[in-house]
Amino acid sequence: MTTKHLAPCLLCVLVSAWIAGSAVRAAEVAVDVGHTLAASGAVSARGGKEFDFNRVLAAGVVSALSTRGLGVRPINFDGRIASLEERPRQAAGSNFFISIHHDSVQAELLEEWQWEGTPQTYSDRHSGFSLFVSRDSPDLDTSLRCASAIGARLRRMGFVGATHHADSLPGRSRPYADADNAVYYYDNLIVLYRTTLPAVLFEAGVIKHREEELALRDPERQARMADAMATGIAACLYGR
Ligand SMILES: [Zn+2]
C-alpha cells in the first residue's frame, strides 16, 4: 500500500470536521448585568441596589445556561463597564443578548415608610416580570420569539407577568408585543438596537413592591427563575 492510499482526502477531512463542529457547537448567550457599581439603577423598598439584584440573578442564568450546554459570555459582572454602547459591542459574535434588570415604578406612585429605622420609598401597586424588545432591532423576529419563549416558560413555572407597562402614563407607554407572555416594545434602548444580535431586556420584577422584593431576594426562587429563563432561551435558539 502506498502513502497515496493512506492519505485521507483533504476535502473529506475538512467537510467532516465542519459537520462535526456544526453539530456540537453550542449557541453562545451574552448575559449582561444591568447598570453599574457607580450608577446602580433602581433602589428597592428596603434600600437595596438594583445592580446587586441584577448580578445575583444573572449569575444564576449563566449557571443554568451552562448546565444546558450553552456557551455563555458574561458582560459587566464587575459593574465597571464604560458605556451602554460597550455592552452590545462586547456581545458581538454571540448568538443572543439578554440584559438582566429589576424594575421600579414611576416616582408619582411612591409612598414613604421606614425600614430598619431608615426612611425608604415603596409602591405595592405593580408587580411581575416583563420582557422588552425593540422594533429597531436588526433581528426583531428572533428577539420577539425568544422573549415570548422566556415569558411562556416563566409562566409555566408559576411566575406572573406584569401588566402595567402598556397602560402607563401617556408618552411613556410600552405597547404589548405579546400580551400573554408579558413582552413589550421598548424601541429606543441602546442595548436593544445598537447590536447585530437578537436582544431582549428582562425585568425580573418590581423591587419597589415590598412583598415582591422579598420574593426576588429568595435564593430558591432566583434559581427557579434562572432555570426557567435558560429553558426558554434554549428552546428558542435550538427549537427553530
Ligand atoms: Zn434597570
- The answer as to CATH 3.40.430.10 being correct for domain 24-238 is no
Q: pLDDT tens across 188-215, in order? A: 888 787 878 999 999 999 999 999 999 9
Give CA angle at 131 (68, 222), nearest 5°.
50
Cα-to-centroid distance, 42 and ligand 1 (Å) = 6
Domain locations in the chain?
24-238
The rounded Å distance from CA 13 to ligand 1 centre is 49
Averaged confidence pLDDT in the chain: 89
- Gap from CA of 9 to ligand 1 centroid (Å): 55
Task: Please compute the mean of the pLDDT values over residues 102-130 and round it to a whole number.
Answer: 96
pLDDT tens by residue, 58-115: 999 999 999 999 999 999 999 999 998 999 999 999 999 999 999 999 999 999 999 9
Confidence of residue 164 (pLDDT cuts 50, 70, 90): confident
Specify the pLDDT at position 3.
44
pTM for this entry: 0.88
Residues near ion ligand 1 (CB < 5 Å) are: 34, 41, 101
Alpha helices, DSSP H only, in 157-218? 190-193, 210-216
Query: In angstroms, what is the span from residue 107 Cα to ligand 1's centroid?
Result: 15
- Strand segments, DSSP code E, in the chain are 28-33, 71-75, 96-103, 111-115, 118-122, 130-133, 176-178, 183-185, 199-206
Q: How far is the CA of 5 from the centre of ligand 1 (A)?
A: 63
- Ligand 1 center to 87 CA (angstroms): 14
- Specify the range with the lowest mean pLDDT, choosing from 3-12, 133-142, 148-157: 3-12
pLDDT at 170: 60
